[in-house]
């Protein structure tokens, strides 16, 4: 169980999302999706219902290779990190990561804390052997964060995502986990 208790109102705790977080997550997502274009899901695809969040959290809780972490400040969700494991037997060892922090809380170390907690969980997970993600080529802060945590670039997906009025390339990045037969390969 991932949990770290806050000591004051501005302090942030990281923990797994529960069904009770559905409304907090809905508000968080609506805000974060309006603040950044660097998430693959945009407001266009967002289902703005608390019931939708509850169903999503329920699905995460029942999949052994999936994780939904929240960063919480007081009663407010200020960050999110998810891992979605592959659905097929041949790729279920690959967990796809997603990360977002409210703009008002950037540069406080929350993104890095979420990532570290998710990576630790993945290391201990019996199914996962690789963490993967896709980041916009122009999203230098996020690329720097992932590189600092041992993620390596695996190529370039040209014009893969919309950005503003145009398109951006996506950079696939990944980190191999220690438990696999490859050992701790970077
Ligand atoms: C990317 C994001 C998650 C970073 O979250 P954060 O909580 O601000 O990050 P942290 O404070 O933990 O920073 C960790 C490291 O990331 C890098 N970083 C973060 N923001 C940066 C910035 N504006 N410029 C340069 N480097 C940055 C730095 O290496 C930093 O380490 P340092 O503080 O020791 O220099 C956040 O900016 C965000 O949610 N952006 C919009 C959504 C997004 O881009 N998600 C990722 C999609 S792949």
Residues 16-33 pLDDT 10s: 999 999 999 999 999 999
Can you spell out the DSSP letters for 45-94?
G----HHHHHHHHHHHHH-TT-EEEEEEETTEEEEEEEEEE-SSTTTTTE
What's the pLDDT at 104? 97
38 CB neighbour count, 10 Å cutoff: 16
Pocket test residue of 41, 106, 115 for ligand 1, highest count of atoms within 8 A of CB: 106
What are the structure tokens assigned to 69, written together?
Answer: 């972490």
- pLDDT value at position 94? 98
> Among the atoms of ligand 1, which is closest to the Cα of residue 79?
39
**Rounded CA gap, 92 and 20, in Å?**
28
Instruction: Name which residue sits closest to atom 18 of ligand 1, judged by CA.
Output: 141
pLDDT at position 41 is 94
Closest ligand 1 atom to residue 142 Cα is 1
State if residue 42 touches ligand 1 by the CB under 6 angstroms criterion.
Answer: no
Tell me the percentage of the chain whose pLDDT exceeds 90.
90
For the chain, which residues make up each domain, given as ranges? 12-176
The reported pLDDT for the residue numbered 82 is 98
Q: Whose CA is closest to atom 1 on ligand 1?
A: 142
Determine whether the shortest distance from the Cβ of 99 to ligand 1 is under 6 A. yes
H or E element that contains 117: helix 110-124
- What is the CATH number that goes with domain 12-176? 3.40.630.30
Which pLDDT belongs to residue 179?
66
- Residue whose CA is closest, atom 25 of ligand 1? 141
The pLDDT of residue 186 is 41
Cβ of 148 below 6 Å from ligand 1: yes
Global pTM value: 0.93
Q: For 80-97, write each residue's pLDDT tens digit.
A: 999 999 999 999 999 999
Q: Which pLDDT belongs to residue 35?
A: 97
């Amino acid at each position: 169980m991932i949990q770290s208790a806050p000591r004051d109102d501005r302090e942030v705790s990281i923990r797994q999302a529960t069904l009770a977080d559905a409304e907090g997550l809905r508000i968080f997502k609506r805000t974060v999706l309006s603040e950044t274009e660097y998430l693959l899901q945009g407001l266009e695809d967002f289902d703005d219902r608390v019931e939708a969040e509850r169903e999503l959290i329920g699905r995460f809780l029942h999949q052994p290779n999936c994780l939904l972490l929240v960063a919480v400040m007081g009663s407010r969700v200020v960050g999110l990190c998810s891992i979605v494991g592959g659905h097929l037997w041949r790729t279920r060892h690959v967990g796809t990561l997603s990360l977002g922090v409210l703009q008002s809380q950037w540069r406080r170390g929350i993104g890095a804390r979420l990532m570290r907690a998710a990576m630790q969980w993945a290391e201990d997970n019996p199914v996962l052997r690789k963490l993967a993600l896709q980041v916009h080529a122009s999203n230098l802060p996020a690329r720097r964060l992932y590189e600092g945590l041992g993620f390596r670039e695996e190529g370039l997906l040209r014009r893969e995502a919309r950005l503003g009025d145009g398109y951006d390339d996506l950079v696939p990045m990944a980190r191999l986990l220690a438990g696999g037969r490859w050992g701790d390969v970077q």
